[in-house]
Chains A and B, each alone.
Chain A
Amino acid sequence: MKEEEIRSTMDVDPKQYELIKINGKDSHNIVLSYLIHGCFKDTVESLVASTGLKVSAAQLEDMEKRKRISHFALNGNALGAIQLTEQMSPDLLENDKGLLFDLLSLRFVELISSKECTEALEFAQAKLTPFGKMQDHVEKLEDFMALLAYEEPEKSPVFHLLSLDYRHHVADKLNRAILAHSHMPSYSELERIIRQATVVRQCLSGELGKDTVSAFSLKDFLKN
């Protein structure tokens, strides 16, 4: 729907929502795209079985690979993730130095977390030094190196680099890059719809462009 149409329906009695027709296939596809994006292979197979939607073997294989890569990244095998990525999407990491740096620094963090500081230092000297000369990455590199200074890095000012959140952030970034590299959408349709709804609401309530904007709340959305 165009923005003006959305605005006019929102001005109208919410019961009007029920008059809008939605194609059932669209709903299924939205859910399917989300599952494919997140590599939920088993769920996809189950959904395909119950709805009659079609998913190709190539798509299934692609999901399986991406799933393994994410798993490696999240669970202490950054080097494995790099290797698989290079197999699956050659020259992706060549061309995206930022992403390569993120993955290498994950490896660095893994070594620090397992208290192998000398190995961590050697790894940094061997693999991370070139990034020290790049304007875009030098600050981040300084933060990572700072982890070496503390006997208890989880209590240091840069403790956030050790967190699961951070690993998720890198894994997501990698997933999107791989999808984009294979010319697939890097954001699922579901995510894009939520984003659009948020922007529209911010725009209507005059929040857009201001310093504090309220994030999407599913609860609030369903209430309206």
Chain B
Amino acid sequence: MRILDHRKKLCYTMENLTTMIGSKGVIKRDEFVRILIQCLYSLGYDKSAACLESESGISYKSSEFKLLESLVLGADWEGCINNLYGIKEMTDEQRDTALFLVLKQYFVECLGRGDDSLALSLLRKQISKLNVGREKVHMLAFGLLSFGALALNKVQEDNDVFQELRKYLINELGKVIPPPITVPDRRLEHLVETVAASQIDSCIYHNSLDPLSIYKDHRCGRDQIPTETVQILSGHKNEVWFVQFSNNGNYLASSSSDCTAIIWKVLEDSKLVLQHTLKSHQNPVSFVAWSPDDTMLLTCGNSEVLRLWDVETGTCKHTFGDNGFLVSSCAWFPDSNRLVCGSSDPKKGICMWDCEGNEIKAWRGIRMPKISDIAVTPNGEYLISIFSDRDIRILNVGMNTERVISEEHPITSLSVSGDSKYLIVSLNSQEIHMWDVEGCLEKPLRYKGHRQHKYVIRSCFGGANGMFIASGSENSQVYIWNKRISDPIEVLSGHSMTVNCVSWNPKRHQMLASASDDQTIRIWGPQPEKACNKGL
């Protein structure tokens, strides 16, 4: 063992050999220094970069590239072409691209000198034979008519202009010629970013959009997500069935089998206070929906009509349909003017209204089944509804095309992610399934661990990047998953009866609300910093 250690030490002191660096010995020292030099140049520290080149004896530009550079600057076009043919590391495609760049410059310089026939000959004998797009070749042919067609301003032979173009050509060649003759742009930056991204990916509690520190390996502790009850709201007089934060995160709406809905305000210090109680429904209110601009709230219930409320005053602005029009759920379009609602009465279908109560569109008919849940993606492109308990219908509003995903078990809730890309459904088989809206996934991602058999239990997306999923459960607990893992990362206890619904604050990423049959709403927050376990 000791003899090997000795040998390693010797290696590190012999600087003129191609040695390895790093504890695993898989990184070449020369390459490492070269990307350091590139990094210094790209940050603007030319003197330091040149100094490092001289001290280390390693040049940023390889000798092959320097040769090519001098051939270009000296306008030795034949030499350039031969040089490019001599680079074995290039694929044929790369070589043709590089040759085109060089020949194009040669062509342009011929035209600039007025040597039309040489330019024509280049085009016919060499350029059109290259395997590059024909539009490129045709563009040069058009340039024979007028120099201006090539988007160059000066026509006469002007050495300065040509020198500039040649420098630009060298730059472009640098992007086409592969390593090790060149180094890909910003290589060190890319390597560090890759590591940082991978650390964030494997950080299961990661819940912020802040930049990382690269001083230490990144690992969040569970103090990043809500795990403790910070407040209990007892405004309702019966089971609380639904909660949802407003889009700006400043309000929470809740609805209950006590036939009311309540709007709570979120204060600066993250405490919630009761703002308005919305009374006028005759039956339990099972669903609310905030308008995208948060000025209005819709309320409805399985045996109830749809009502529109003004958030500031707490007054009812409109009731849709007549007494017989029972709406099970509703959703807004991004313009905060059009809304859709789905009826639990088969044949009533889906209706689109505006805020004044004018019907804009309806999907009705004998074939329309019962709709239990409806949602619109935040970008307004898709209308998603749950038909007959088990079918997820995704309608592309603009193109009027739809696709259907059929689940095997009854669906009790539908939620759409903030970036409009994903949807989750809660199933009575005790699983939550995540599908993508555009339809690339053949099978859903599954999340389990909670209890759901008989009741409507709802789930939602949450967290800084929509990285988490939360759900209620029949065993009175709140469950939290990281989207990448199918088992829960946290189980929150506190409620004494079934938790029906959860909502994650879209702006305060560490605030979660849950609604329970125990007539309370709990607000959850992170563990206070002093008591937390940093790292794992």
- Interface membership of B134, Cβ < 8 A: yes
What DSSP secondary structure best describes chain A's contact surface? helix
Contact of B117 among A118, A142, A147 (CB under 8 A): A118
Chain B, Cβ-Cβ closest to A122: B116
> Would you call B145 and A149 a contact (CB within 8 A)?
no
- Interface membership of B120, Cβ < 8 A: yes
A117-B120, A142-B138 known; A125+B145 contact, CB < 8 A: yes
**In which size bucket is the chain B interface?**
10 to 19
> Would you call B145 and A145 a contact (CB within 8 A)?
yes
- Interface membership of A208, Cβ < 8 A: no
- Interface membership of A157, Cβ < 8 A: yes
A132 to B123, CA, bound (A): 20
- Interface membership of A91, Cβ < 8 A: no
Interface segment, B47-55, B124-132, B423-431, B493-501? B124-132
- Interface membership of A48, Cβ < 8 A: no
A117-B120, A151-B125 known; A145+B138 contact, CB < 8 A: yes
> Would you call A117 and B124 a contact (CB within 8 A)?
yes
> Would you call A124 and B145 a contact (CB within 8 A)?
yes
A121-B116, A157-B134 known; A149+B146 contact, CB < 8 A: no
**Cβ–Cβ < 8 Å partners of A141 in chain B:** 142, 145
Nearest-neighbour CB distance to chain B for A94, whole angstroms, equals: 23
A1 to B138, CA, bound (A): 52
> Would you call A151 and B124 a contact (CB within 8 A)?
yes
CB contacts under 8 Å to A, within B121-161, are: 123-125, 127-128, 134, 137-142, 144-146, 149
Nearest-neighbour CB distance to chain A for B182, whole angstroms, equals: 30
A143 to B138, CA, bound (A): 7
> Would you call A132 and B137 a contact (CB within 8 A)?
no
Nearest-neighbour CB distance to chain A for B453, whole angstroms, equals: 55
Chain A, Cβ-Cβ closest to B117: A118
> Would you call B145 and A146 a contact (CB within 8 A)?
no
A118-B117, A118-B120, A132-B149 known; A149+B141 contact, CB < 8 A: yes
- Which of B128, B144, B145 has most chain A Cβ within 10 Å? B145
Nearest-neighbour CB distance to chain A for B148, whole angstroms, equals: 9
A145 to B137, CA, bound (A): 10
**Cβ–Cβ < 8 Å partners of A124 in chain B:** 144-145
- Which of A124, A142, A149 has most chain B Cβ within 10 Å? A149
- Interface membership of A161, Cβ < 8 A: no
Chain A, Cβ-Cβ closest to B124: A151
- Which of A124, A147, A150 has most chain B Cβ within 10 Å? A150
Contact of A149 among B116, B117, B137, B149 (CB under 8 A): B137
